[in-house]
Each structure stands twice: as structure tokens, then as C-alpha cells.
Amino acid sequence: MRRFFKGLAATVLGVICLLPAGCGSRTADGCLVKAKEYADSGEWKEALKQARRAVELEPDNVSGLVFRAVASEKCGERDLALDSALQAVKINPESFAAQYTLGRLYASDPARYADAMNALEQALRLKPDDTNTLVALCNVAVAMRSRQAVPYLLMLKQRPEFAKNSALDNQLGISYVRSGNFNAAKRAFMDACRNSKNNPGMLYNMGVFMDRYTSSKANARGFYKFFLKQTQGKPEYAAARARVEARLRQMN
């Protein structure tokens, strides 16, 4: 799934490891304290051993199950990760960490996007202010071309850190086009160009939008020409430049 926001890969370790210090390793809490220590140092195999032990000691320990899910994922054991998260949700559907972890795991499989949406929506209900959950929901909704994409993207845009995010504006434009709201799409694409300081990709999208969905062919030509100017001497844009140049010849 194409993700339009990077750098927000949240960990739930802080949520599930608010455990009392000093517990012995013969207790589930003690094992989870050790597991977090290993996780903090990147020793995920050892963290998984401790999480497994915690669940052995207390099979209904939701924190242990969520930690086992996270550690299993880090160790490449996806089946165990999913099984652990599912068990955690079954035991306590009101656990934010369990719902978020399950949704995030499902979100990596296109065949389970609907399940991911359900779990992430539950997580957002439990913790409405969690930005990472909302970002994950946006990514899944966009990938599914869901009607919920625009509402979730607009919710994210209300967060101060995303108010002028060009990737978000660009995705809003695409989602508005899919829903047939071309006026809103135009505003979103314009915001994307403005907030990205005329990023070539945003200029290209704006030109294509103006060309295909409006009668403003002159404006489309203007964005196409600006795109060509911004990408001159940049080989990574060669294919897009060729398409734009061919289209400009047709429009003249």
C-alpha cells in the first residue's frame, strides 16, 4: 500500500509497558519489563522470548499479548503476530493498544484492508487524539478508495502538524476527484502546490487535473510549462517530461 506520510511509524511499547519496576522475571510483569529493555536496545529476538514467557505465565495478559505481537512482527513471525493481536482484542476489545496493533498488522495485507479499517476505527474511538491511528486510517482508506478517505483526511488536516502538509493536500485532491467534487479538488491541489513550494510532482498533478477535469486549458498549459521549467536537467522526471511535452504539442 502506498503510504503518503512517512516518519510516523508508532510503537505501542510505551502504551503496553507501564509496568511496576522491580518485578521478578518469574512474573509476567517482570518478563515484560525485561522485554522492553531488550526492545529498547533493538534485541527483538530476546524481547520476543520474554514476551512469550509473559504470556505463558499469564495467558490472558493483554499487554503481554500485544508485546508478543509487536516483537513477533519485528522478528518476521507474522502469523504469531496476528494471532497474538487477535487474542488480545478478543480478551479486551476496549484495549487501544490491541486494536491499534491488530489494525496496523492487517493494514500490511491488501486482502485485509476492511479488517484493518474496522480495528483502526475502534482504536480511534478509544483514543481520538492519537495521530498515528488517524494516519493509518487515512492510508488504508485511500488504498481502498473508500468514501471515508475524504472525512479522515480532513480530520488529519485539522491537526496543526498537518495543516500545511502538501502530501495530504495532494491526496485530498485525488480523493475529491474520485468522488466527483472537482471544485474541492482544485482547491486541494492548489494548496499542495503552494505548501510544497512548487514541488514538480505537485505541479504535474495540478496540470493534469486542470487538463482533464476543467475547461481551463490555458491554466493547464501554464502548470505544464512550469513543471518543465522546474524539472529541466533532472533525469528522474524524464518520463513525465516526455508525457507533458507530447500533451503540449497536442494542445497547441
Integer Cα distance of 52 and 32 in angstroms: 9
Q: Does one domain contain both 79 and 122?
A: yes
The domain of 242 spans 166-252
Q: What do you get for the CA distance between the two ends of the chain, in Å?
A: 38
Q: Does one domain contain both 54 and 151?
A: yes
Q: Does one domain contain both 153 and 36?
A: yes
Q: Does one domain contain both 130 and 173?
A: no
Domain C-terminal end among 116, 135, 163: 163
Contacts of 9 (CB under 8 A, 6+ apart): 132
Integer Cα distance of 186 and 216 in angstroms: 11
Q: Does one domain contain both 172 and 222?
A: yes
Integer Cα distance of 105 and 140 in angstroms: 12
Q: Does one domain contain both 60 and 184?
A: no
Instruction: Supply the CATH number for residue 97's domain.
Output: 1.25.40.10
| Structure confidence at residue 13 as a pLDDT band (50, 70, 90) | low
Q: What tens digit of pLDDT does each residue of 118-171 get?
A: 999 999 999 999 999 999 999 999 999 999 999 999 999 999 999 999 999 999
| Number of domains observed in the structure of the chain | 2
Instruction: Determine the pLDDT at residue 18.
Output: 45
Instruction: Determine the pLDDT at residue 123.
Output: 98
| pLDDT surpassing 50 at residue 8 | no
Task: Find out whether 99 and 68 touch, Cβ atoms under 8 Å.
Answer: no
Q: Alpha-carbon torsion 159, 161, 165, 168, what sign?
A: negative
Instruction: Determine the pLDDT at residue 97.
Output: 97
Q: At residue 227, what is the residue type?
A: F
Q: Does one domain contain both 23 and 62?
A: yes
- C-alpha to C-alpha distances, 90 to 62, 77, 85, 98, nearest whole angstrom: 9, 20, 9, 9
| Structure confidence at residue 26 as a pLDDT band (50, 70, 90) | confident
Q: Does one domain contain both 65 and 103?
A: yes
Integer Cα distance of 8 and 26 in angstroms: 35
Mean pLDDT of the chain: 90
| Structure confidence at residue 200 as a pLDDT band (50, 70, 90) | very high
- Give exposure, 153-178, as e/b (b: 16+ Cβ within 10 Å): beebbeeeebeebbbbbbbbbbbbbe
Task: Find out whether 142 and 172 touch, Cβ atoms under 8 Å.
Answer: no
Higher pLDDT, 225 or 11: 225
Q: Does one domain contain both 175 and 159?
A: no
Domain C-terminal end among 163, 185, 210: 163
**What pTM did the predictor assign?**
0.82
Domain C-terminal end among 136, 163, 190: 163
